Amino acid sequence: MNKESRIYVAGHRGLVGSAIVRALSNQGYGNLICRTSQELDLRDRQQVDRLFSEEHIDIVFLAAAKVGGIVANHEYPADFIRDNLLIQTNIIDAAYQSGVEKLLFLGSTCIYPKLAPQPLKEEYLMTGELEATNEAYAVAKIAGITMCQSYNRQYGTNYISVMPTNLYGPGDNFDLEKSHVLPALLRKVHEAQEQQLPQVEIWGTGTPRREFLHADDLADACLFLMEHYEGNEIVNIGTGEDISIRDLASLIQSVVGYQGEFKFNTDKPDGTPRKWVDVSKLKSLGWSARIPLIEGLKSTYEDYKSELQTISK
C-alpha cells in the first residue's frame, strides 16, 4: 500500500471495518472508499461490479460479513451461509476481474475444528469436525479462504487471509440475540447494575476458555500484514492468552461495579471448550498485541455507555 492507494473497506461500519478505517486514517491513508449496506448490497453482484468499475480500487479489506453469537448462528444458519458466501464471492471475484493489487480476507478462529489441539495452529484448519453451533458460518468462511488461495494459485493474485480470535471494542454489537459473549455479558451486567438485580444468568458452565483481542489491535495487525506479508497460508491474529468465561464475567463485574452474583445455566450450550490461538507466525513477522484485556474492557464499557446516552437523547 501507499498513501495514494484507493482502499476499499468492505463492512466499514462493523466492529472490524470501523477499526480498520480508524487505523488507515491515523496512518495517513486518505483515499478510503466506503459504502453502507443501504448504498450497496454486497449480495448483489451487479452492484459490486459497478463499485469496482467506477472506483478503480487498488486495495481491499474484506471485513464485511454476517456475524453473530451462539443464539444467532443456531437460529439462522441459512442466512449465515447464504449471505457470507454471496458477499465474499462477489467481492473476491470482482477484485480479480478489476485488477486489484492486494486483498485481505477476514476469517475467524471459530472455524477451526471443535476439538483441535490447543493452542490452535494455522495448519489445524479443516482437520476435524466443526463446532455444530456455527457450522454454517464456518463453512462459508472456509470457502472464502479457499477461494483466495485458489485465485492466488490459478490467477497469480495477491490475496491473504487472517484468522482473528474473539474480538471486542468500540462499535461492538450489544444486541443480546446477535452479539458475541463479551459484549453480551457487558450489557447484561450493566443492565443488572442499573436495575439493581441480584443475579445475572450466563449460558453454559462458565468453564470454556476464550481469547479476546481488541479491534484496534486487530486493525493494526491487518495493516502490518498488508505491508509485510505475502503468502497463501492463513495467519492467526490474537494475544496468545485466554481466560475462562467465569473469570471474564468477574472482570466485567469489576469494571461495571456490579455487586450481584452469576447463575450459570448448564442447560444451555457451552460451544467450543477452548479457543486459544498460536500466534508464533505473526510474532515471527514482527507484530504483537498491545492492549491489555482489562484496559480494553474499560474503554469498551465507556463507549457502550456513551452509545446509550446518545440513543436516549
Annotated binding site for substrate: 188, 203, 210, 270
Q: Calculate the alpha carbon distances from 162 to 12, 37, 122, 221 in Å.
A: 17, 23, 10, 9
What percentage of the chain's residues is helix, strand, coil (to nearest 5)? 45, 15, 35
**Which listed residue (137, 159, 258, 304) is catalytic?**
137
Neighbour count for residue 93 (Cβ, 10 Å): 16
Q: How far apart are the first and last CA of the chain?
A: 41
Q: What cell was used for 164?
A: 482473528
Annotated binding site for NADP(+): 11-17, 106-109, 141, 164-167, 180
Q: Which residues contact 7 (CB under 8 A, 6 or more apart)?
A: 1, 24, 29, 31, 32, 33, 57, 58, 59, 60, 61
**C-alpha angle 300/306/308, rounded to 5°?**
105
Distance CA 145, CA 85 (A): 11
Residue 137 a catalytic site member: yes
- Which residues participate in catalysis according to the annotation? 137
